[in-house]
Amino acid sequence: MPDLVMPGLFRTLTARVVLVTAATAMIAVVLTALVAVPLAVRAANRQARAELNERVALAVELLPERPAARERIVRELRRDETSVYLIRRGVVDTPGLPQRLVQQVSEGASVDTRGLVGGRVMFIVGRPLTGNSSGVILTKPAATGIAGGLLGGVWFALAAGLVGGLLMGALLARLTVRPIRRAAVAAGHLSAGDRSIRLVTEGPAEAAELATAFNQLASALQVSEGRERDFLLSVSHELRTPLSTIRGYAEALADGVVGADGAPKAGATMLAEADRLDRLISDLLVLSRLEAADLPLDIVEVDLTELIRTAGEAWAPRCRPSLSFRVELPSRPVVVSTDPGRIRQVIDGLCENALRVVPEGAPLILAVRSSAEGGVVEVRDGGPGFTDEDLAVAFQRGALHQRYRGIRKVGSGLGLALAERLVGRLGGTITAGHAPEGGAQFTVTLPRV
């Protein structure tokens, strides 16, 4: 039953805070009572014993000197539940005392002890009087009932502590839960599409941290969605351009506008635009698989020197004679752990970008070197390069495409983003910078074996 009831009753943070504060108050009261009751009983007993010793000393002084006032003195001594026993010639005037104590006082010995008198625990203090085996014994109940009285009063303290704990718990819960509820409401607005929602950073430090983190998340989502929207607009434009070209030539061929002599040129143009569409769709597919983390990789030992030599042999015919193409290779192998096919895909993409923007006669260099971090591949060119502002967004999808569309030749806006994610999946890094040749430099660093 408790397992079924507890989750329902204390499912909310408010109820749990109230429960904890009330339980804390009750435990504090009980622990205080457990410590205070023995101390109070001990103090009461010490005080009772001291008073009893003072009274018996007074009785020893007054009773022999004032026999006529003996009854009045005895009445005064019997205040506060104190009993007085007078001993004459070894006989006590009131029965009930242990005989051994009476005998000790009669024989001239003092008594200061604790024992049973009439079935009750008593402090017993006795002193002898002068002559005829006389003496006086005073008894007073020990403070055994104080514990029960104090424990009885604990119930009131427990009730007061419970009420106080409930009130303070409710107040504390309200202050604690308020920023969480605000964050929950704001999260609902955020999930509904309102990216302008923000929380006020106030209250305790933890609540302020929660509000700050939420605001940062909302801002990041707003920026990310803005970039996604711009990217989709850019991609849709890139898709629409070759489609429009293909549609135009197809309509011209269907309407007979393009004759037999113009058909080969029209077919070649349509084929080139179809290849452009295929590359764009392939880049989008690879990017989506990279972000879904299901792109297959074949990590093996690769000699970058041989890999770049092969890439240079493939790119040299495409670059000459319009570009000054060369390959810089070390004298020794540079062995790394990577996927050779994916790295070749990155190198080909970077060379394709350079070939698009580098002016005629400018250099394009593929270089390999070894570093402390691993193997390094550099793609440098003498093209227009990047500004410092461009370097900050070089690997963001569509950022440079949006910035330079209509100013210089641009690709789909996916190539650098694809290269950055591919290299990252391979455990390496890629950076963009300024090349010594005056254009752009891309540096790919891959881990050693």
Rounded CA separation 350/416 (Å):
8
Rounded CA separation 151/30 (Å):
9
One domain for residues 247 and 98: no
One domain for residues 18 and 132: yes
One domain for residues 129 and 184: yes
Asked whether residue 148 is domain-assigned, the answer is yes
Q: How many CB atoms lie within 10 A of CB 250?
A: 13
One domain for residues 239 and 356: no
Q: Which of the listed residues 194, 215, 237 is the one where a domain comes to its end?
A: 194
If you search the block for the tokens 């890439």, which residue do you land on? 311
Q: Which of the listed residues 175, 194, 213 is the one where a domain comes to its end?
A: 194
Asked whether residue 199 is domain-assigned, the answer is no
Asked whether residue 211 is domain-assigned, the answer is no
Asked whether residue 313 is domain-assigned, the answer is yes
Asked whether residue 210 is domain-assigned, the answer is no
Asked whether residue 207 is domain-assigned, the answer is no
Residue 441: CATH number of its domain? 3.30.565.10
One domain for residues 241 and 327: no
Is cis: bond before 321, omega within 30 of 0? yes
> Which residues span the domain enclosing 8?
1-194
Asked whether residue 390 is domain-assigned, the answer is yes
Spatial CA neighbour of 189 closest among 215, 209, 208, 212: 215
**Count of domains observed in the chain:** 3
Render each residue's pLDDT in the chain as its tens digit; 449 residues.
344 444 455 566 666 667 777 777 777 767 776 776 677 777 777 887 888 888 878 777 776 666 665 677 777 776 667 888 888 888 888 888 888 888 888 888 888 888 888 778 888 888 888 767 788 888 888 765 555 555 555 566 667 766 776 777 677 767 677 777 788 888 888 888 787 888 888 767 777 888 888 888 888 888 777 766 756 655 665 566 677 778 887 888 888 877 778 888 888 888 877 876 777 777 677 666 666 566 678 899 999 999 999 999 988 888 878 889 999 999 999 999 999 988 988 898 898 888 888 888 899 999 999 998 899 999 999 988 888 888 888 888 767 766 766 666 665 567 788 888 889 888 999 999 999 999 999 999 999 87
One domain for residues 355 and 414: yes
One domain for residues 266 and 168: no
One domain for residues 166 and 278: no
Q: How many CB atoms lie within 10 A of CB 139?
A: 24
Residue 37: CATH number of its domain? 3.30.450
Q: How many CB atoms lie within 10 A of CB 71?
A: 8
Buried residues in 364-388 as b, exposed as e (16+ CB within 10 A)? bbbbbebeeebbbbbbbbbbbbbee
Relative to beta strand 324-328, strand 135-141 is unpaired
Q: Which of the listed residues 291, 324, 347 is the one where a domain comes to its end?
A: 291
One domain for residues 21 and 1: yes
Do 139 and 83 contact (CB within 8 A), yes or no? yes
The Cα-based distances of 425 to 394, 419, 422 in angstroms read: 18, 10, 5
Q: Residue 149 corresponds to which tokens in the numbers above?
A: 């009285």
Residue 209 is which amino acid?
A: E
One domain for residues 105 and 51: yes
Asked whether residue 219 is domain-assigned, the answer is no
Residue 238: CATH number of its domain? 1.10.287.130
What's the burial of 18, exposed, middle or buried (CB within 10 Å: 0-12/13-18/19+)?
Answer: buried
Spatial CA neighbour of 211 closest among 223, 200, 203: 200
Rounded CA separation 443/344 (Å):
14
One domain for residues 115 and 186: yes
Residue 212 is which amino acid?
A: T
One domain for residues 94 and 144: yes
Q: How far is CA 61 from the centre of its chain?
A: 78
